[in-house]
Amino acid sequence: MLSGLTIPALRHYDDVGILLPAQVDRRTGYRYYRRDQLPRAQLILALRAVDLPIDEVRDAIDAPEVDLRGLLLAHRERLADQSARVSQQLVVLDGFIEKGVIVPKVTGSRIVMLNVAVHDADVARRFYEDVFGASFNETTHDGPHDSHYEGTFGTWPTENFFLLQIFEDVDRAGTANFGFFCEDLEETYRESLAAGAIDVHGPKDVPGMPRVAQIKDPSGNDIGLYQA
């Protein structure tokens, strides 16, 4: 159909009563829908696409007394939990793949895109590979800059982000500054220096934050290292 729903899905929605055919042929059993049922069908499709359970889809579209926003927020929380769980599993699984045994925990949250400018791509590539286990694939991209490496940490895509933070510092305006969670802060800190990082300060505890060290990469980008 134009609705995007499959026939088994339409039958199922008939069975559970959230989308009844406008008319059913008594002889053949054929289900017929009217064009004005399309919005409802598409709404169901949209809500199911974000995995809202059918019972809640029913409430969302038929029960005028339910708190729609609250229902969606509750579902949002479930999805967020699931997302965190899967991210965790990825981290743990990566540990298995590298070694073959058990591994620790990590935290995380936020998202954007980040470009880091460096003086020498090969130096930078080696730096990020050595220190953070990033894996880069060389590409000549026709974006705003001629050539660059696209890279990931761990391995594939998807991991955890922290926060976008804005701080006031006239001298450093326009300077890239980002952070990594480390399984072993001391070790990563040492490795980073060995790989050519500029030392800012070694691991220390600050109230209300994970244990942190500060370095600059060989091109001068500020990097915070956080104990996971």
Partner DNA sequence: TTGCTCCTCACGTCACGTGAGGTGGC
Residue numbers of the site for DNA (CB under 7 A)?
A: 6-9, 11-13, 27-31, 48, 53-55
For residue 51, state whether it binds its own copies (rule: CB under 8 A).
yes
Q: Is 113 in the site for its own copies (CB under 8 A)?
A: yes
The interface with its own copies within residues 120-139 (CB under 8 A) comprises 120-121, 124-125, 128, 134, 136
Cα distance between residue 98 and residue 201, in whole Å: 30
Question: What DSSP line would sit under 2-54, residue for residue?
Answer: TT---HHHHHHHHHTTSS--SEE-TTT--EE--GGGHHHHHHHHHHHHTT--H
Single residue of 3, 12, 14, 155 touching its own copies by CB under 8 A: 155
**Measured between alpha carbons, how far is 75 from 48 in angstroms, rounded to an integer?**
12
Other C-beta atoms within 10 Å of 189: how many?
22
Q: From the list its own copies, DNA, none, which binds 29 (C-beta under 5 to 8 Å, kind-based)? A: DNA
Binding span for its own copies by CB under 8 A among 7-15, 18-26, 78-86, 187-195: 78-86
Instruction: State yes or no: residue 114 binds its own copies (CB under 8 A).
Output: yes
Which of DNA, its own copies, none sits in contact with 118, Cβ below 5 to 8 A by type?
its own copies
Residue 192 or 214: which CB sits closer to its own copies? Answer: 214
Shortest Cβ 105–DNA spacing (Å): 19
Pick from 223, 205, 222, 225: nearest CA to 213:
225
Write down the least CB distance from residue 137 to its own copies, Å: 11
Radius of gyration of the chain (CA): 26
Instruction: Report which residue type is found at 178.
Output: F
Q: Which residue has the tokens 């990082």?
A: 197
**Within 13 A of 178's CA, how many CA atoms are on the CB side?**
16
Name the minimum Å distance from CB 13 to its own copies.
18
Based on CB atoms, which residue is closest to DNA, 75 or 216?
A: 75
Site map (CB under 8 A) of its own copies, residues 172-211, x = contact = xxxxxxxxx-------------------x-----xxxx--
Residue 108 C-beta: closest distance to DNA, Å: 24
Q: Which H or E run includes 88?
A: helix 68-98
